[in-house]
Amino acid sequence: MKDLFAPWRIEYIRMEKHEGCIFCDFPKESEDEKNLILHRGKHAFVIMNNYPYNPGHVMVAPYRHVGSWEELSDEEIIEMHHLVSLMIRAIRRRMNPQGFNIGANLGRVAGAGIEDHVHVHIVPRWNGDTNFMPVIADTKVIPQAIEETYRELKEEIERITSA
């Protein structure tokens, strides 16, 4: 057996898990960097996934606590789609992925980790990002610290939105 040393991961492992709804609670706080909120709109916002599948994995959610897609207002749906487009542009410019997975997991059986607050996942994909590690070692390698990804994407969003 071989060891994979990743000492920076201990901070992630020891991190307290949030009780409640992050999509409701985090936007109410004024600590966007700590809470990984990248961008705020009028009806929806963008937050990084603290448990990413790949670097740059973000989520778009409405501020309002809504558990089903059909309960979203037209304003929320439109802004969420605009924010998905914004994030694709920012991630593409900064991280240069070859593709994206974009979608919403509606209900626990569909894979929703937070099933009572609708959100859309945006996961950048690179050729070879799924390799032997998850299959053989049951380990996913995230090659960039969340804080570094946050700073890079935040800069790019500000560049795009100020143009």
d(CA 39, CA 32): 9
Q: For the sheet with 120-125, list strands across it.
A: 37-40, 44-48, 58-62, 120-125, 99-103
d(CA 59, CA 49): 6
DSSP letter at 117 equals S
**CA neighbours closer than 13 Å in the CB half-sphere of residue 37:** 20
57 catalytic, yes or no? Answer: no
Identify whether the C-beta of residue 120 lies closer than 8 Å to the C-beta of residue 57. no
Pull the structure tokens for residue 45.
Answer: 């916002």
Say how many Å lie between the first and final Cα of the chain, rounded.
Answer: 52
Pull the structure tokens for residue 106.
Answer: 């509606």
Pull the structure tokens for residue 63.
Answer: 């501020």
Options 43, 57, 119, 121, the catalytic residue: 119
Pull the structure tokens for residue 74.
Answer: 């037209």
Catalytic residues: 119
